[in-house]
Structure 1
Amino acid sequence: MGPLEGIRIVELSTWAVVPCACEIMGDWGADVIKIEHPVGGDPTRGWAGPGWLPASSPLGVGWLADNRSKRSIALDLSKEQGREIAYRLVEKADIFASNLQEPSLQKVHMDYERLKQVNPMIIYAHLTGYGRKGPKCDKPGFDYSAFWASSGIMSLIGEKDGPPAFQRPAMGDHMTTGYFTAGILAALRARDRLGIGQRVDISLMGTGLWIDSWQTQATLLTNEDAKRVSQKEMPNPLFNIYRAKDGRWFIFVMLFPDRFWPSFCRALDIARLEHDPGFETAEKRAENRKELISIIEEVIDTKTSEEWVPIFDKYDLVWGYVHTIKSALEDPQTEANQFVVEVEHPELGNIRVVNSPVFFSETPSSPKEPPPLLGQHTEEILLSVGYDWSQILHLKNEGVII
């Protein structure tokens, strides 16, 4: 039994942040009912990315990633009968979560003012691109535009003199998911303590500024923009990436370089540099970083990754592989910690999915069900809120459900 057993969530959302948050809470035991439009449903069902995913990927990998552990009801909210069904669901729910723009929510009468009349204790959780106020409050915002670009993070990614670099789809979305989920659960706790429902808001842009708060805090204090640093110019050469003879990349993360410098020199067989006046202190290594990085690159390139690993471990260096996605999935840590689990999909059979990353000792949880087919649970959900079969048939004939 997961820690959120007994909690019911109504989700009216698309794309990544809100679906992923509801998926996580579903993994943790909540009963998640996802409302989708009868025509097409969530667009991630058929979206394969702008050429960035492997050519052999089935369509809808984003759907598979973010929509397990929930039930799907296909419902046309533009019709009054559809809204009446939604209100019955909200009446029995603890949480309502959406990323529809405010005008769209008002158009289908699913805005906070309306739903708190239906259920005054509801936790109404809403995502925007840029926040509820300001000139962009009603503008659409996606991971790339609102999180990466508008927060300033994209300006810091990439080589020093190159263009800003793209990240992969939904990464900013999923970082936002964590804070969105935390906010929802905090509001749920406040409801338990104080007996109040409330609205919870988060934005992609605001989360991006928070995620990069070490950089944004520095700019707030100095009024100077943060700048990119090239791999060739890292101030601490013991905090950098290097490529081995077989092409695999390593990252060293030795945040206290003076402590590690002697063992680093012995590991790389460059003991002659340990007391070299140009490198013997962190300040000197920063001053002469281009020369030192070049030396380290040449040395690392003399052995394969398999040859280097036991040496790094012998000298207790802080290092890691710069994995590809495939090699990360093949890392023994992934299987040992159940970072990937298997679910049975009604069309695809047994598929492996990435597990939610939090584990509970006394209330263990895991993915309950695979991502649902469009409207897969419509009838059972309607029966559970008081509709009979004749009413369900009428709703189908009217195009309210499928």
Structure 2
Amino acid sequence: MPLPLEGIKIIEWGVLLQAPYAASLLGEWGAEIIKIEPLVGEMVRGYHTFGGVSQELKGGRNLGFEHNNPSKRGIALNLKTEQARQVVYKLVDKADVFMHNQLEETAIELGMDYETLSRYNPKLIYSVANGLGLKGPDKDGPSYDTMALARAGNMMAVGEPGTPPQVALGAQADIMGATLLAYGTCLALIARDRFGIGQKVDGSLFGGAMHLLSYALLTAHLVGKEIPRQDRRKVVNPLYNHYICADGKWIIIGGLQIDRFWPNFCKIVGIEALRDDPRFQNWQGDPDKTEEIVRILDEKFATKPREEWMSLLKSIRMAYAPVQTVSEVLTDPQALENEYIVPIDHPVLGRILTSKCPVHLSKTPARNKSAAPELGEHTEEVLLELGYDWDEILKLKEENAI
């Protein structure tokens, strides 16, 4: 069965994460991705550490580049030369999408802007990712993942009251920005097929970070009050809170329907006396009483290991989840059974685990990722497909275009 995006060709001229990862998401659904890099390689190939963790892998591979660029063919071009730009124009002529996250001034300078490329292909989908959006007083300013999270309010939406702003690790604004750019690109492809038009698609880190907080933003607007940062000792509902267990591991419980779960919850936790204590008959909405219940539950949860608590909570069909480390997620049977994480055979790294698109189509499922390309690995192959002969390819090399 063909994949949903089989036959779609995407030319990606991206750096770091947002645009490259957006293209790779579409590659999982069958799109052909050709990645353009400068002759010295995309900058992330040279990153030695990220968050204090080494990015250097076996065989000279780079962790960041592998994450951002699977399922692609790679070509190396010197876009400062007219000859290399002509290669891109020939690619664009037969492409469906051109995607990048370069600065607009750079795209214009090198002839990679929408106005130029759309002359070669009027039905081209031109998808551009940026930091803060294409309009506004800071539209031309540089931005990175953490800056977007900071400006969108995310850093002040997590952590406990009175603590400094909290940084969410793992390039979350980049990942969300990439996901939304892929989403917009698919919509533009549908519009092209329905209405016969090409168009420009833009997404940003800032917009993606705001999207993550859409509920909180609407609350602040309509209610006139922000959802406060939570002190776990002073939560409104002690049955919707996280607790540390006897083995030092954390668990979060989700008893949103307090009246439904309170009697059975008291029984499995061993606080039936609290359930029947007249002082706690009407504890909901009383901050002093809820704080005391949290204190009691802290003591109770500290008496049993997490696995035992999960078994007890499961017996009363109350929602719960282990608060896991990133490493623990890699062996979570729920993640493995649903193929959110899958094994692949990498030509250099061997058998490894990698993420897979967490959306399933029953008859046209996504394919597993393949290894990211080496620098310029497919340059000659792609040029031959475009109609260049070996003499012309040699001349391009002599002219420092490839």
TM-score by length of 1: 0.94
Aligned partner of 1:53 in structure 2 is 53
CA–CA distance in structure 2, aligned partners of residues 288 and 21 of structure 1: 48
CA–CA distance in structure 2, aligned partners of residues 159 and 56 of structure 1: 35
- Work out whether 1:2 is the aligned partner of 2:3: yes
Whether the 8 Å contact between 1:26 and 1:367 is mirrored in structure 2 is: no
CA–CA distance in structure 2, aligned partners of residues 255 and 175 of structure 1: 28
CA–CA distance in structure 1, aligned partners of residues 48 and 318 of structure 2: 40
Read off the aligned partner of 1:322 and give its amino acid letter.
V
Whether the 8 Å contact between 1:172 and 1:208 is mirrored in structure 2 is: yes
Report deviation, 1:290.
1.6
- Work out whether 1:326 is the aligned partner of 2:327: yes
SS of residue paired to 2:300: helix
CA–CA distance in structure 1, aligned partners of residues 283 and 159 of structure 2: 25
Whether the 8 Å contact between 2:160 and 2:230 is mirrored in structure 1 is: yes
SS of residue paired to 2:53: coil
CA–CA distance in structure 2, aligned partners of residues 393 and 354 of structure 1: 39
Rate the CA distance shift 1:350–1:320 in 2: closer, same or farther, 3 A.
Answer: same
Post-superposition Cα deviations, 1:324-347, rounded to whole Å, max 9, x if no partner, equal 111111111222222222333333
Read off the aligned partner of 1:43 and give its amino acid letter.
M
Read off the aligned partner of 1:61 and give its amino acid letter.
L
Aligned partner of 1:107 in structure 2 is 109
CA–CA distance in structure 1, aligned partners of residues 18 and 335 of structure 2: 24
Read off the aligned partner of 2:124 and give its amino acid letter.
I
CA–CA distance in structure 2, aligned partners of residues 6 and 342 of structure 1: 26
Aligned partner of 1:242 in structure 2 is 243
Read off the aligned partner of 1:25 and give its amino acid letter.
L
Aligned partner of 1:42 in structure 2 is 42
Report deviation, 1:35.
0.5
Deviates more, 1:367-376 or 1:113-122: 367-376
Report deviation, 1:125.
0.7
Aligned partner of 2:343 in structure 1 is 342
CA–CA distance in structure 1, aligned partners of residues 211 and 282 of structure 2: 33
Aligned partner of 2:178 in structure 1 is 177
Q: Equivalent residues in 2 for 1:2-401 (5 A)? A: 2-39=3-40, 41-53=41-53, 60-146=62-148, 148-281=149-282, 283-284=284-285, 286=287, 288-401=289-402
Deviates more, 1:167-176 or 1:381-390: 167-176
Report deviation, 1:226.
4.2
Report deviation, 1:156.
1.6
Could you list the runs of 5+ residues in structure 2 that have no partner in the other structure?
none
Rate the CA distance shift 1:153–1:277 in 2: closer, same or farther, 3 A.
Answer: farther
Rate the CA distance shift 1:376–1:124 in 2: closer, same or farther, 3 A.
Answer: same
Whether the 8 Å contact between 1:17 and 1:173 is mirrored in structure 2 is: yes
Report deviation, 1:287.
5.2
SS of residue paired to 1:38: coil
Whether the 8 Å contact between 1:236 and 1:286 is mirrored in structure 2 is: no
Report deviation, 1:305.
1.4
Report deviation, 1:49.
4.0
Read off the aligned partner of 1:68 and give its amino acid letter.
P
Report deviation, 1:232.
1.5
CA–CA distance in structure 2, aligned partners of residues 287 and 117 of structure 1: 68
SS of residue paired to 2:80: coil
Question: Pairwise CA RMSD of aligned residues?
Answer: 1.9
Post-superposition Cα deviations, 1:290-310, rounded to whole Å, max 9, x if no partner, equal 211111110000011122222
CA–CA distance in structure 2, aligned partners of residues 48 and 306 of structure 1: 38
Whether the 8 Å contact between 2:236 and 2:290 is mirrored in structure 1 is: yes
Report deviation, 1:155.
1.2
SS of residue paired to 1:327: helix
SS of residue paired to 2:354: strand
Rate the CA distance shift 1:262–1:122 in 2: closer, same or farther, 3 A.
Answer: same
CA–CA distance in structure 2, aligned partners of residues 108 and 133 of structure 1: 21
Report deviation, 1:189.
0.5
CA–CA distance in structure 1, aligned partners of residues 47 and 122 of structure 2: 37
Deviates more, 1:58-67 or 1:16-25: 58-67
Report deviation, 1:213.
1.2
SS of residue paired to 2:45: helix
Read off the aligned partner of 1:376 and give its amino acid letter.
E
Post-superposition Cα deviations, 1:2-55, rounded to whole Å, max 9, x if no partner, equal 21100000001111121111111111100000111111x222223254444379
Rate the CA distance shift 1:210–1:245 in 2: closer, same or farther, 3 A.
Answer: same
CA–CA distance in structure 1, aligned partners of residues 324 and 382 of structure 2: 43
Whether the 8 Å contact between 1:237 and 1:285 is mirrored in structure 2 is: no
Read off the aligned partner of 1:393 and give its amino acid letter.
L
SS of residue paired to 2:16: coil
Read off the aligned partner of 2:256 and give its amino acid letter.
L
Report deviation, 1:225.
4.2
Rate the CA distance shift 1:89–1:276 in 2: closer, same or farther, 3 A.
Answer: farther
Give the % identical residues. Answer: 40
Post-superposition Cα deviations, 1:260-315, rounded to whole Å, max 9, x if no partner, equal 21221112111122244454457345552221111111000001112222211112
Post-superposition Cα deviations, 1:66-119, rounded to whole Å, max 9, x if no partner, equal 211111111111111111001111111111111111111111111111111111
Rate the CA distance shift 1:368–1:2 in 2: closer, same or farther, 3 A.
Answer: farther
Whether the 8 Å contact between 2:283 and 2:289 is mirrored in structure 1 is: no
SS of residue paired to 1:5: coil
